[in-house]
């Protein structure tokens, strides 16, 4: 997430990881009520996100380029969509 305070607020929450292959539809939909409160670009590498890279590149999802889009729900709860860049 690139933000310790945000990570602390989300501690114990749930997450899902979705992998988009090059042939897949690359539009992001976040089906929650709320408003975007910020978007943070975090530079990094563009390692492929495949079985070999995931098992051999330490902290792959934390070293790849990404953007973190934070939403605030009507009840004040944060939701983050973390879009991870990759190649191949």
Residues 42-75 have pLDDT tens digits of 999 888 878 888 888 888 878 889 999 999 999 9
Please compute the mean of the pLDDT values over residues 1-5 and round it to a whole number. Answer: 92
Strand ranges in 1-88 using DSSP code E only, listed in sequence order: 35-42, 66-72, 78-84
Give the SS3 label for residue 50.
coil
Q: What is the dihedral of CA 68, 88, 21, 17, to 10 degrees?
A: -40
Q: Token pair 């009507």 is at which residue?
A: 74
- Is residue 3 exposed (0-12), middle (13-18) or buried (19+ Cβ within 10 Å)? middle
Whether the model clears a pTM of 0.75, i.e. scores above it, the answer is: yes
Residue 75: predicted pLDDT: 94
CB 85 within 8 A of CB 46: yes
Which of 26 and 10 is assigned the larger pLDDT? 10
């Amino acid at each position: 997430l690139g933000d310790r305070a945000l990570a602390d607020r989300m501690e114990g929450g749930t997450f899902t990881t979705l992998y988009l292959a090059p042939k897949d539809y690359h539009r992001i939909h976040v089906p929650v009520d709320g408003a975007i409160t910020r978007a943070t670009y975090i530079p990094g590498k563009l390692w492929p996100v495949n079985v070999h890279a995931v098992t051999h590149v330490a902290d792959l999802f934390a070293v790849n380029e990404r953007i973190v889009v934070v939403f605030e729900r009507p009840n004040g709860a944060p939701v983050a969509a973390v879009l991870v860049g990759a190649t191949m």
